[in-house]
Amino acid sequence: MRNDIDQELLNKLSAGLERLDAQYDDISPPSLPAVEQFLAAEALRRRHQSRKELLLFWFVALFLLMIILTVLGNAPVIYWILQAAFPLAALGGYAVTRFRQRREDGER
């Protein structure tokens, strides 16, 4: 009995999805030159973006290195406190994110 009900539901579902598919039978894929142009533009955008990100990375890295060397030279105690605080903050942040994600997945 339960199997019959399930089968009926699955038949309805397949029929509904086939009708939905049929609604979009008339869509035509983009033309070949349009796809080529889209991919070329996207590849160029990605290249520019990664170059920009690399520059930003170097800039931030140099800036941080400069600060670290300055603090190490002038206030070594603060330097060692920061050395301990940053990994702890990162671990705490990671744990909170994991906890939130699990809770969201559980709710779903």
Partner 1 sequence: MSDGTLELIKRAQQGDASALAELLREHYTFLFKYLIKATMDPSLAEELAQDTMVRCMEKISTYNGSSSFSSWLITIATRLYIDRKRRWKRETQWFRQEQGAAAIRWRFESRNMEWSEVLDALSRLPLPQRVAVLLKHYYGYSYEEIGIIVETAAGTVKSRVSAGLHQLRKELKEDEK
**Residue 10, interface with partner 1 (CB under 8 A)?**
yes
Report the C-alpha gap between 8 and 63 in whole angstroms: 66
Q: Taking a C-beta distance cutoff of 8 angstroms, is the pair 1, 8 a contact?
A: no
**Residue 69, interface with partner 1 (CB under 8 A)?**
no
Report the C-alpha gap between 81 and 75 in whole angstroms: 10
Q: In the range 37-56, which residues lie near partner 1 by CB under 8 A?
A: 38-40, 42-43, 46
In the complex, the smallest distance separating the C-beta of residue 60 from partner 1, rounded to whole angstroms, is 24
Cα dihedral sign, 70-71-76-80 = negative
**Residue 6, interface with partner 1 (CB under 8 A)?**
yes
For residue 105, give the 3-state DSSP assignment: helix
**Residue 27, interface with partner 1 (CB under 8 A)?**
yes
Q: Which residues bind partner 1 (CB under 8 A)?
A: 5-6, 9-10, 12-17, 19-21, 23-24, 27, 29-32, 35-36, 38-40, 42-43, 46, 104, 108
